[in-house]
Amino acid sequence: MAGIFDLFDRISSKKAPVGNVEYIVAGLGNPGDKYDKTRHNAGFMAIDRLAEKCGVEIKTAKFDALIADTEISSHRALLMKPQTFMNLSGTAIAAAAKFYKIPPENIIIIADDVNFEPSFMRIRRKGSAGGHNGLKDIIAKLGSENFIRIKLGVGKKPTPEYDMVDWVLGRFSESDMKALTSVLDSVAYAVEEIIGKGVDLAMNKFSK
């Protein structure tokens, strides 16, 4: 267990970050109590957990998002929760990337994925939106697919006929929420590995 606590110590330095912002780490979701703890807000839940480990609160309003400035693995990073609703997530991400001159390769997006069960996490270096409207808008606004994604399983629809919007805006069962919560710490580890050691190592270690 000492290794885990040492890792969190490296992530969560209380000192003020210095230098230029080098990375954007954003969790996707919809703002407002109406959408709290819904499947589509798994990204919000993960970024809140990461912020907790970093010792910061994501509460400053900027770039149509709530943000926090922190240091992860000796690099300055901006944590973000876009407040534009899921389908316009790219507005906030692109604005922050332009302001700080962050290349797509240094942007990490945490989002829900209905193709996997809630205990599953997958990391990808780049790729298509895969039907996810938040990722689709980020690709359109950045003009690039070359950003890193951390996908969190939220469970498949119970039947093919089940409406997808109703499914992703629905809330987790107690067992599914427990399964999702069990991987949120792994997201924090994965972000630290990606920034500190590279996405390839993180993909091999955490995509399972």
For residue 12, pLDDT beyond 60? no
What does the angle CA 65 – CA 143 – CA 187 come to, to the nearest 5 degrees? Answer: 50
Which residue of the set 11, 25, 40, 149 is catalytic?
Answer: 40
Does some domain include residue 5? Answer: no
Active site residue 40: yes
Q: Is residue 69 part of a domain?
A: yes
Exposed/middle/buried for residue 15 (C-beta within 10 Å: 0-12, 13-18, 19+): exposed
Number of structural domains found in the chain: 1
Asked if residue 11 is part of any domain, the answer here is no
In-domain check, residue 84: yes
6 in any annotated domain: no
CATH of the domain at 162: 3.40.50.1470
Q: Has residue 163 been placed in a domain?
A: yes
Q: Residue 64: which domain range?
A: 22-206
Instruction: Look at residue 79 and tell me if it is in a domain.
Output: yes
Give the pLDDT confidence of 119-129 residue by residue, as tens digits: 899 999 998 88
Residue 13 predicted with pLDDT over 50: no
Residue 148, CB-side half-sphere exposure with 13 Å CA sphere? 25
With tokens 């943000």, the residue in question is 67
Phi and psi torsions of 97, nearest 5°: -65, -40
**pTM (global) more than 0.95:** no
